[in-house]
């Protein structure tokens, strides 16, 4: 179901005490916008994050998972383990996982399938590199990332998919796609899904924008018709900035 979503990807930041104090501050200041609000702390702090949020509407989500149910995969975390601690949404395909940890479309497709099989929601990230945009290849790249990881899924699986378009050149760089560039790509993504599946599915999927979203630019980006919210990195590490971005939705 298409909903407005603002999600904070904390990446490898915030120790236990910092996690608890940021969540306490966020809960206290959380505006009621009707949007879903999610935070993705590091794995070691997920259990405590869930506990300390209690009945808050803020959802705790994971930054990654492995596709296997269990077994000899040193350093990895399974869907079962996440569900067991009440984390039922997972980010898959973040550009940092692709770039630094060698996650290919093939691996990502397995992760997506594994998560969906367990009834988890998947926040699937994808986006082009700067050279792709400069050479005008960005639509092709995005289409192939979606095709390779998602277009073999059953139509009904799309009810548990959230998309996050994150142009790599805008992540952590301070450089943001213009609201027009974001809208143009989001409309392309929706049309592509409509062509491969149907317009109903395309219109029901939430498509978030990510890449240097800040309080100063959030409102303009979120005002675009095909932008359903944001995946926020750096600015989600500060409660006031994150709350300002939530208000912008
Ligand atoms: P950023 O990160 O907001 O710091 O650019 C976004 C992301 O990586 O999801």
The per-residue pLDDT for range 34-61, each reduced to its tens digit, is: 999 999 999 999 999 999 999 899 999 9
What is the best residue among 39, 96, 169, 213 to mutate for testing ligand 1's pocket, by most ligand atoms within 8 Å of CB? 213
Q: For 142-153, what is the mean pLDDT? A: 98
Residue 171 has pLDDT above 90, yes or no: no
Please identify which residue in the block is written with the tokens 């149907």: 198
pLDDT at residue 96 in the model: 97
Q: Which atom of ligand 1 is nearest to the CA of 173?
A: 5
> What is the side-by-side strand order in the sheet with 206-210?
59-60, 36-40, 5-9, 229-232, 206-210, 161-165, 121-126, 89-92
127 pocket-lining for ligand 1 (C-beta < 6 Å): no
Q: For 156-184, what is the mean pLDDT? A: 93
162 pocket-lining for ligand 1 (C-beta < 6 Å): no
Per-residue b or e along 64-73, where b marks 16 or more CB atoms closer than 10 Å to that residue's CB: bbbbeeeeee
| Confidence category of residue 148, pLDDT binned at 50, 70, 90 | very high
66 assigned to active site: no
Q: Which atom of ligand 1 is nearest to the CA of 235?
A: 3
Of 169, 172, 191, 183, the closest CA to residue 224 belongs to 183
């Amino acid at each position: 179901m298409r909903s407005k979503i603002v999600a904070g990807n904390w990446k490898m930041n915030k120790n236990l005490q910092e996690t608890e104090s940021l969540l306490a501050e966020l809960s206290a200041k959380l505006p009621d916008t009707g949007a879903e609000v999610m935070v993705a702390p590091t794995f070691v702090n997920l259990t405590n994050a869930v506990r300390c949020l209690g009945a808050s509407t803020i959802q705790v989500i994971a930054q990654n998972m492995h596709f296997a149910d269990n077994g000899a995969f040193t350093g990895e975390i399974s869907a079962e383990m996440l569900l067991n601690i009440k984390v039922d949404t997972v980010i898959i395909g973040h550009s940092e996982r692709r770039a630094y940890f060698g996650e290919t479309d093939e691996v990502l497709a397995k992760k997506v399938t594994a998560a969906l099989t367990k009834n988890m929601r998947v926040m699937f990230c994808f986006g082009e590199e700067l050279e792709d945009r400069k050479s005008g290849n960005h639509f092709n790249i995005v289409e192939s990332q979606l095709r390779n990881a998602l277009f073999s899924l059953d139509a009904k699986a799309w009810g548990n998919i959230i998309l996050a378009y994150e142009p790599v050149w805008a992540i952590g760089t301070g450089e943001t796609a213009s609201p027009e560039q974001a809208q143009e790509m989001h409309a392309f993504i929706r049309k592509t899904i409509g062509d491969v599946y149907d317009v109903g599915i395309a219109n029901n999927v939430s498509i978030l924008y990510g890449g240097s979203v800040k309080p100063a630019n959030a409102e303009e980006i979120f005002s675009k018709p095909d932008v359903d919210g944001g995946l926020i990195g750096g600015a989600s590490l500060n409660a006031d900035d994150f709350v300002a971005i939530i208000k912008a939705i």
